[in-house]
């Protein structure tokens, strides 16, 4: 937005404020008010949008008073991360840094310390923005999204959640309560790369990679490209080209050569034309794979 085109000094719209203290109470409110309601968590997206009248909700449902939605805990299946976990908490968690450094790296890349103290992991994902920085690592690790609604809790894969353009797989009254993020395979190396207008800005392109090696050859490989297609996508052709091969410079060149065929950037997107996104996703995939492989080699 252009500063001074609108008055960002105030929130110019009037709404009724609700602060439910249970999931059931929140669902009741969201179902009742439907399109007229907006969920408030960190507010870093919602409040500026309201200032600009991009959204004009009649009801604000602040879900931060619901207990238990900000927890981070280790389970046998992976980390359970509550939707209300702050990006800063995800970034600094010693357990996440040790076991899933990719998540910590992606969280650290977002905005400023103040923004990360406010913004939540659920808020980064819930509107299914193709440039969401937490989406690329969650997709690379095949995370599960936990959703709550009228019929209780349900879960879907992060890939399913992103199906369809700009919506997210959420029905009336439903909202994200958290994620289960499986641990990367033993000995995996991972990396997150991003380019934006400034280091502060939303990603123009972001890439996450996870690689394991076996006998010097690539055993497991996932590459996810963000902000390059209507949803974050796996670079399946590039992954297939690397698996079973020694990760030589030539093999990497060949693999990332397939990246442009995996993405579908749109002409109308702000920040960069499609060709920039095709080339940058290829270059960032090369960087992410190279760093992942180095880290996998160093891993015990």
Partner 1 sequence: MEIEITVNGRKRRFDVEPNRLLLNLVRDDLHLTGTKYGCGIGECGACTVHLDGEAVLACMVLAVDADGRSVETIEGVADVNKLDPIQEAYIEEGAIQCGFCTPGFVMTTKALLAENPDPSEAEIREYLKGNYCRCTGYVNIVRAVQSAARKLGS
Among 5, 9, 186, 300, binds partner 1 (CB under 8 A): 9
Q: Is 97 in the site for partner 1 (CB under 8 A)?
A: no
Choice between 10 and 186, CB closer to partner 1: 10
CA neighbor of 42 nearest in space, from 103, 92, 83, 91:
83
Among 28, 31, 99, 117, binds partner 1 (CB under 8 A): 117
Partnered with residue 223 across adjacent β-strands are 209
Could you count the other beta carbons within 10 Å of the beta carbon of residue 215? Answer: 6
What are the phi and psi torsion angles at 234 (to 5°)? -75, 140
Q: Is 16 in the site for partner 1 (CB under 8 A)?
A: yes
Binding mask 170-199 for partner 1 (x = CB under 8 A): -----------------------------x
Provide the b/e sequence for 160-197 (b: ≥16 CB within 10 Å): ebbeeeeebbbeebbbbbbbbbeebeebbbbbbbbbbe
Among 25, 28, 31, 47, binds partner 1 (CB under 8 A): 47
Among 23, 26, 37, 40, binds partner 1 (CB under 8 A): 40
Binding mask 207-246 for partner 1 (x = CB under 8 A): ----------------------------------------
Which range of residues in 36-44, 128-136, 145-153, 174-182 is near partner 1 by CB under 8 A?
36-44
Q: How far is the CB of 49 from partner 1 (least distance, A)?
A: 10
Q: How far is the CB of 222 from partner 1 (least distance, A)?
A: 28
Q: How far is the CB of 131 from partner 1 (least distance, A)?
A: 16
Q: Is 88 in the site for partner 1 (CB under 8 A)?
A: yes
Q: How far is the CB of 90 from partner 1 (least distance, A)?
A: 14
Choice between 64 and 291, CB closer to partner 1: 64
Among 53, 165, 200, 216, binds partner 1 (CB under 8 A): 200
The residue ranges that bind partner 1 (CB under 8 A) are 1, 3, 7-17, 19, 40, 43-44, 47-48, 51, 60, 62, 64, 88, 111-115, 117-118, 199-200
């Amino acid at each position: 937005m252009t500063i001074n085109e609108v008055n960002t000094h105030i929130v110019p719209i009037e709404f009724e404020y609700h602060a439910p203290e249970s999931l059931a109470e929140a669902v009741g409110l969201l179902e009742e008010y439907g399109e007229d309601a907006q969920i408030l968590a960190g507010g870093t997206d919602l409040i500026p949008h309201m200032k600009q009248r991009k959204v004009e909700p009649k009801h604000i449902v602040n879900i931060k008073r619901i207990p238990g939605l900000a927890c981070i805990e280790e389970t046998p299946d992976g980390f359970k991360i509550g939707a209300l976990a702050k990006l800063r908490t995800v970034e600094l968690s010693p357990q996440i840094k040790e076991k899933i450094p990719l998540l910590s790296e992606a969280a650290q890349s977002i905005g400023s310390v103040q923004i990360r103290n406010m913004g939540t992991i659920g808020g980064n994902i819930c509107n299914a923005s193709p440039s969401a920085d937490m989406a690329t690592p969650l997709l690379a690790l095949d995370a599960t999204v936990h959703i709550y609604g009228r019929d209780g809790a349900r879960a879907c894969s992060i890939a399913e959640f992103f199906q369809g353009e700009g919506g997210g797989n959420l029905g009336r009254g439903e909202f994200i309560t958290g994620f289960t993020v499986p641990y990367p395979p033993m000995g995996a190396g991972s990396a997150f790369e991003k380019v934006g207008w400034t280091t502060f800005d939303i990603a123009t392109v972001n890439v996450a990679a996870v690689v394991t090696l076996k006998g010097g050859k690539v055993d497991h490989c996932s590459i996810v490209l963000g902000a390059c297609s209507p949803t974050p996508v796996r670079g399946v052709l590039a992954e297939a080209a690397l698996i079973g091969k020694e990760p030589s410079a030539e093999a990497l060149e060949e693999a990332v050569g397939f990246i442009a065929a995996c993405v579908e950037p749109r002409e109308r997107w702000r920040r960069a034309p499609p060709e920039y996104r095709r080339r940058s996703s290829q270059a960032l995939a090369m960087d992410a794979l190279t760093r992942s492989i180095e880290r996998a080699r160093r891993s015990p």
